[in-house]
Amino acid sequence: MDSPILQVQSLIKQFRQSDSVITAVNRVNFTVESGEFVAIVGASGSGKSTFLQLCAGLMTPNSGSIKILGQEITELSPDKLAQFRGRFLGMIFQKHNLIPQLTAKENIEIPAIMMDKAPSSYEHSFMKLVEALKIKDRLHHLPSELSGGQQQRVAIARALMNRPQILFADEPTGNLDRANADEVLSLLLKMQKDFNQTLIMVTHDESIAQRADRIFKMEDGCLSQISH
Ligand X SMILES: Nc1ncnc2c1ncn2[C@@H]1O[C@H](COP(=O)(O)OP(=O)(O)OP(=O)(O)O)[C@@H](O)[C@H]1O
By the criterion CB under 5 A, which residues form the site for Mg ion? 49, 94
Q: Which helix (H) or strand (E) holds 222?
A: strand 222-227
Contacts of residue 71, defined as CB under 8 A and 6 or more positions apart, other chains included, come to: 84
Contacts of 77 (CB under 8 A, 6+ apart): none
**Residue 59 interacts with another protein (CB under 8 A): yes or no:** yes
86 binds another protein (CB under 8 A): yes
Please identify, among the stretches 43-51, 81-89, 175-183, 190-198, the one whose residues bind ligand X according to the rule CB under 6 A: 43-51
Please name which of 70, 95, 39 lies closest in space to residue 218, comparing C-alpha atoms.
Answer: 39
| Contact pick of 3, 10, 29, 45 for ligand X (by CB under 6 A) | 45
Q: Can you tell me which of 4, 6, 28, 46 binds ligand X, judged by CB under 6 A?
A: 46
Choose the one of another protein, Mg ion, ligand X, none that binds residue 46, judging by a C-beta under 5 to 8 angstroms depending on kind: ligand X
Q: Is 90 a binder of ligand X (CB under 6 A)?
A: no
The DSSP secondary-structure symbol of 5 reads: S
The answer to whether residue 175 forms part of the interface with another protein (CB under 8 A) is: no
Nearest Cα neighbor of 169 from 29, 65, 46, 40 is 40
| Distance, CA of 64 to CA of 8 (rounded, Å) | 8
Rounded distance, CA 56 to CA 62, Å?
Answer: 15
CB 124 → ligand X: shortest distance, Å? 35
Bridge partner residues of 71 (DSSP)? 68
68 residue type, one letter: I
Q: Is 114 in the site for another protein (CB under 8 A)?
A: yes
Minimum distance, C-beta of residue 101 to another protein, in the bound complex (Å):
6
Between residues 42 and 111, which has the closer beta carbon with respect to ligand X?
A: 42
Work out how close the CB of 48 gets to Mg ion at its nearest, in angstroms, rounded to a whole number.
5
The reply on whether position 15 binds ligand X by CB under 6 A is yes
Burial class (CB in 10 A: 0-12, 13-18, 19+), 108: buried
* Smallest distance from ligand X to CB 113, Å: 28
DSSP 165: S
CB atoms within 10 A of CB 71: 14
Q: Please report whether residue 44 would count as binding another protein according to CB under 8 A.
A: no
Summarize as ranges the residues that interact with another protein (CB under 8 A). 18, 53, 56-60, 78-80, 82-83, 85-87, 91, 93, 95, 97-99, 101-102, 110-111, 113-116, 118, 158, 161-162
